[in-house]
Amino acid sequence: MFTVADVEVDATADTAAAARDRALAEGQKAALGRLFDRVVLATDRNKLPEFNAGAIAELVRDFEVTREKRSSVRYLAVLRVRFKADGIRAMLRSHDIGFAETRSRPVLVLPVFEVAGAFSLWGEPNPWRDAWLALPPSDGLVPLVRPAGGIRNAVLIGAEQAVRGADDRLAAIARHYAAADVLVAVAGFRMGAVGEEGQAAQQFLQVTLSRMGTALTEQTHLESFALRPGESRENAIGRAVSVIASQIQEDWKRDNRLRFGVGKELTVIVPLTSLADWLAIKRRLAGVALIQRSDLVYLSRKLARLRINYIGDEEQLTLALVQNDIILERGPVSWILRRTRKGGLAEPGQVKVGGEETGGGRTNAPRPPSGGAP
């Protein structure tokens, strides 16, 4: 979470040593900016202070240098910078800047293009899919998977099946790409109403976004992008993809922003089948940013009882656990944590649950109690 990779540096100075020092300082500053872009909402970035080289160095834990090239006056390299997690958190909190640390599991994007009522997903031409494939890679909290096409994908799901939200087909292609959610993005050009005094109708790109999977509820949004004067359809499509991809990151950060003023406690039962099962649960819980600490109260061969202290609200905790392949559900007596299958796609607003002791079948994603151990 606090590591920024592939930071390219290129600096020139009077000497090779001075060029290297300048490049490393500039690279660490660029890496810090990318880290802030990753975890801080765009609306809060104006609260960030200015950092000099010394202040940035205090936040850096270590860094790696690869692909070095140098001359007597120039230095080029690629950096991988690891920041101090506690230092970054303390700095952001001291400036009252909200931030998120929960990384989403991959989201698979299915770009469906509509022309005259006909839908295209894998066929050509599909400028909408081309624009998604051309989107530069992001190191944000939401990894976006964009399939290029091919026979295998076409067998798994077709355009009409994606548009109507065929659960079995969406689940199949989600498993193929080890994605937790699927975002079906349907785009097509429309003509607006005729303007005043005989002005031509304005053309716009209409986009319907339906996200299905581990989210607590199915999310569907409608977006419109009017063509700017002189703008081509291709450029309008590229602009729409860039805006939507950025908004996906911002929405995730807003929904998962850590709220340190709200602390709660929850006691849970963890059914166990082996020691490896217990170790896997411990490892996954350690990856949940909202959990401040988890204390073992009781351990046997069949179950463990944990007391969990977490920050944020109930929906945030449930969603954060799902991203780490853990389901929180209400059992007959107490709350239960269990591992879930990796790479599967649950029904919109639902999670898969099995086992007699919780009733089996499927159940709505539960909300933990508002406070206090049951």
pLDDT at residue 264, as a whole number = 80
Alpha helices (H) in 60-158, listed in sequence order: 85-94, 127-134, 151-156
Region 6-21 average pLDDT: 95
- Specify the pLDDT at position 357: 33
Task: Say if residue 160's pLDDT is above 60.
Answer: yes
Question: Average pLDDT over the chain, rounded to whole?
Answer: 84
Record the pTM.
Answer: 0.73
Q: Give the number of other Cβ atoms within 10 Å of residue 291's Cβ.
A: 20
Strand, coil or helix: 167: helix
Q: State the sign of the Cα–Cα–Cα–Cα dihedral 139, 140, 141, 145.
A: negative
248-287: pLDDT as tens digits: 999 999 888 877 665 688 888 898 888 888 888 888 898 8
pLDDT of residue 347: 36
pLDDT of residue 197: 61
Residue 344 tokens read as 């599967």
Give pairs for 234-243: CB < 8 Å, separation 24+.
234/127, 234/131, 236/205, 237/127, 237/128, 237/131, 237/187, 237/205, 238/131, 238/134, 240/131, 240/187, 240/205, 240/207, 241/128, 241/131, 241/132, 241/135, 242/135
263-364 architecture in CATH? 2-Layer Sandwich (3.30)
Q: What was the pLDDT predicted at 193?
A: 62
Using DSSP bridges, classify how beta strands 181-191 and 291-299 pair: parallel, antiparallel or unpaired. unpaired
The Cα-based distances of 50 to 47, 91, 263 in angstroms read: 10, 12, 31
Encoded amino acid at 111, one letter? P
AA letter at 327:
I
Taking the domain 107-255, which CATH number applies? Answer: 3.40.50
Name the DSSP class of 165.
T
Q: Find, among 298, 294, 360, the residue nearest to 327 by Cα.
A: 360
Tell me the C-alpha distance between 16 and 24, whole Å.
12
pLDDT tens-place string over residues 119-136: 999 998 999 999 999 999
Strand-by-strand arrangement of the 3-12 sheet: 3-12, 74-83, 60-70
The tokens for 195 are 């303007």
**Backbone φ and ψ of 190, nearest 5°:** -130, 165
For residue 146, name the pLDDT band (cuts at 50, 70, 90): very high
Q: Which residues pair with 70 in a beta bridge?
A: 75
Map residue 42 onto helix, strand or coil: helix
pLDDT by residue (tens digit) across 68-84? 999 999 999 999 999 99
CA distance 212 to 183: 7
- The full set of domain ranges for the chain reads 3-94, 107-255, 263-364
pLDDT value of residue 335 = 80
- Of residues 241, 235, 250, the one with CA closest to residue 223: 241
What pLDDT is stored for residue 185 in this prediction?
96
More confident residue, 71 or 195: 71
**Interstrand relation of 107-115 and 144-145 (parallel, antiparallel or unpaired):** parallel
> Is the pLDDT assigned to residue 22 strictly greater than 90?
yes
% of the chain residues with pLDDT over 70: 86
